C-alpha cells in the first residue's frame, strides 16, 4: 500500500490527511467520553485535544500505511474514577469507533447531496474509507483494541487480564494470518460497500 501511495504524491497526501484526521477523532472521542463519565485521566495526560500529535501511535500508524489497518495511541483510563466501571468503560471504548462512523456518515451525506469535482470527491471518499477501516479493525475483540472491552460482559476480570497480557501477540498473529486468509479485508469491503450504498447512494470498489 505504501509504495502505491508514494508513486502518487497527491493520493499519498490525501491518505495521510485522512489517516491523521480519523485517528485524532477516534482517540479524542475516547478521551471526551471518559471525561464525561468522571475520569479525567486523559485530560490530565493532555489527550483531551484535537492535536494529532497527542494521539498518533508510531507502530499503529506504520501498520496503517503498510497493511491498511492500524490504531492510535491508547487513551489512559482509570476505571476507579467511573461510577459504573464495567458499563462506562465499554461505552468509552465504543466511543472511538462510533466517532469514526459518525464522521464517515456526515461526509457521506455531504457527498450524496453536494456536487463536487472529481478531486474533492476522491479526497472525501478516502476519508470515509479510512474511518470505516479504523472503526472495523478496532471493533475486533482482541486486546488492546476497543472491541476487546465488550468481552468484560462475558468473562471475569481475571480472565480478561490474562487475555490482555497475550493480546498484542494475538493481534500480530491475526495481522499475519490476514495475509493468507483475508477475513478482515472481506469484512472491511463488505462494511464499506454497505455504507456507500446506504449513505452515499452508490457502490465503490476498494
In the set 27, 89, 119, 161, the catalytic residue is: 27
pTM as predicted: 0.88
**Whether pLDDT at 5 is above 60:** no
Residue 117 domain-assigned (yes or no): yes
Q: What is the pLDDT of residues 13-32, one digit of tens each?
A: 888 888 889 999 999 999 99
Residue 183 domain-assigned (yes or no): yes
Report the share of the chain in percent with pLDDT over 70: 92
Least-confidence region, from 2-11, 16-25, 168-177? 2-11
Q: Please compute, for residue 41, the number of CA atoms within 13 A of its CA located in the half-sphere on the CB side.
A: 14
Question: Which single residue is written with the C-alpha cell 465504543?
Answer: 94
pLDDT of the residue at 77: 92
**Domain assignment of residue 56, given as a range:** 2-200
Residue 163 domain-assigned (yes or no): yes
**Whether pLDDT at 73 is above 70:** yes
Q: Contact, 83 vs 173, CB < 8 A?
A: no
Residue 109 domain-assigned (yes or no): yes
Residue 49 domain-assigned (yes or no): yes
Q: Please compute, for residue 50, the number of CA atoms within 13 A of its CA located in the half-sphere on the CB side.
A: 3
Tell me the mean pLDDT in the region 182-203: 92
Least-confidence region, from 3-12, 70-79, 137-146, 189-198? 3-12
Residue 206 domain-assigned (yes or no): no
Residue 205 domain-assigned (yes or no): no
More confident residue, 11 or 150: 150
158 given a catalytic annotation: no
Residue 173 domain-assigned (yes or no): yes
pLDDT of the residue at 194: 95
**Whether pLDDT at 3 is above 50:** no
CA distance 37 to 30: 11
Beta carbons within 8 Å of 81's beta carbon, 6+ residues apart: 38, 39, 40, 41
As for how many domains the chain has, the answer is 1
Beta carbons within 8 Å of 128's beta carbon, 6+ residues apart: 104, 107, 108, 111, 195, 196, 200
Q: What is the pLDDT of residues 107-142, one digit of tens each?
A: 999 999 999 999 899 899 999 999 999 999 999 999
CA distance 25 to 31: 10
Amino acid at each position: 500500500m505504501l509504495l502505491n501511495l508514494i508513486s502518487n504524491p497527491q493520493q499519498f497526501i490525501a491518505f495521510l490527511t485522512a489517516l491523521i484526521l480519523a485517528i485524532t477523532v477516534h482517540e479524542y472521542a475516547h478521551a471526551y467520553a471518559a471525561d464525561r463519565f468522571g475520569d479525567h485521566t486523559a485530560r490530565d495526560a493532555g489527550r483531551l485535544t484535537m492535536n494529532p500529535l497527542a494521539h498518533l501511535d508510531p507502530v499503529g500508524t506504520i501498520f496503517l500505511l503498510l497493511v491498511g489497518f492500524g490504531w492510535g495511541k491508547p487513551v489512559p483510563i482509570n476505571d476507579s474514577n467511573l461510577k459504573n466501571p464495567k458499563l462506562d468503560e465499554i461505552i468509552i471504548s465504543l466511543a472511538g469507533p462510533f466517532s469514526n462512523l459518525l464522521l464517515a456518515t456526515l461526509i457521506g451525506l455531504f457527498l450524496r447531496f453536494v456536487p463536487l469535482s472529481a478531486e474533492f470527491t476522491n479526497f472525501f471518499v478516502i476519508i470515509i474509507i479510512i474511518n470505516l477501516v479504523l472503526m472495523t479493525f478496532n471493533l475486533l475483540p482482541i486486546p488492546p483494541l476497543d472491541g476487546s472491552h465488550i468481552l468484560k460482559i462475558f468473562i471475569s476480570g481475571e480472565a480478561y487480564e490474562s487475555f490482555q497480557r497475550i493480546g498484542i501477540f494475538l493481534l500480530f498473529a491475526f495481522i499475519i494470518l490476514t495475509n493468507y486468509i483475508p477475513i478482515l479485508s472481506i469484512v472491511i469491503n463488505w462494511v464499506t460497500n454497505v455504507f456507500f450504498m446506504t449513505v452515499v447512494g452508490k457502490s465503490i470498489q476498494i
